[in-house]
A and B are shown apart, each in its own frame.
Chain A
């Protein structure tokens, strides 16, 4: 069964304090791994797609990496506006190709 586990559940950082969020996955035939940002009371907003181990994507202070078992979302010198819940999802060969989501990591960045 396809499964996605995100850790930690919550992360509190000081502004400028870099850290990483983890997404571990079990999937039959990974087609893609997706990172989303979700602000309170809003729908998820797409950040990155990763397809194969070793791949990296960057956007401003965010960098996503992928191995055969997990993905990391690295946040460099975060700002308060980076506070949000970050969701990881995988698309495998099963489940009709539907995305399987993790529970998310709630990030709080204090000034």
Chain B
């Protein structure tokens, strides 16, 4: 079955620690996205990548970093510079950048908690 796999489902981070969230897709999609979701808030765009080896900052990129070395993979690192990282993180993909007929395909999310 084609889809997006996010791991882990739950992640706990200590103060000052960097953590990496995994996102893998087997849909052969060019574009991939990372969103953050907080209670009562809409999805906010962190980073996006329209093609391999290229990515751009979204609306709330501070304290986060990404890489896109392979088409299938778009990992997100939450660095110690992100002061309020507790949230639900969603990865998404799109066949190509720009116009989409069926919206984005989303993964099942990673819930990150600072302990």
- Chain A contact residues, CB within 8 Å of chain B: 4, 9, 31-32, 34, 36, 41-46, 49, 87, 89, 91, 96-99, 101-104
Q: Across the two chains, which residue of chain A brings its CB closest to B109?
A: A43
The reply on B104 being an interface residue by CB < 8 A is yes
Do A97 and B99 have beta carbons less than 8 Å apart? Answer: yes
Residue from the set A34, A43, A49 with the largest chain B CB neighbour count within 10 Å: A43
- Given A41-B111, A42-B108, A104-B42, answer yes or no on A98-B102 (Cβ-Cβ < 8 Å): no
Specify which chain B residues have a CB less than 8 angstroms from the CB of A43 in the assembled complex: 4, 6, 90, 92, 106-109
Q: Across the two chains, which residue of chain B brings its CB closest to A36?
A: B103
Specify which chain B residues have a CB less than 8 angstroms from the CB of A101 in the assembled complex: 35, 42-43
- Residues of B85-109 whose CB lies within 8 A of A: 88, 90, 92, 97-109
Specify which chain B residues have a CB less than 8 angstroms from the CB of A31 in the assembled complex: 99
The reply on B53 being an interface residue by CB < 8 A is no
- Given A46-B105, A49-B103, A89-B103, answer yes or no on A96-B48 (Cβ-Cβ < 8 Å): yes
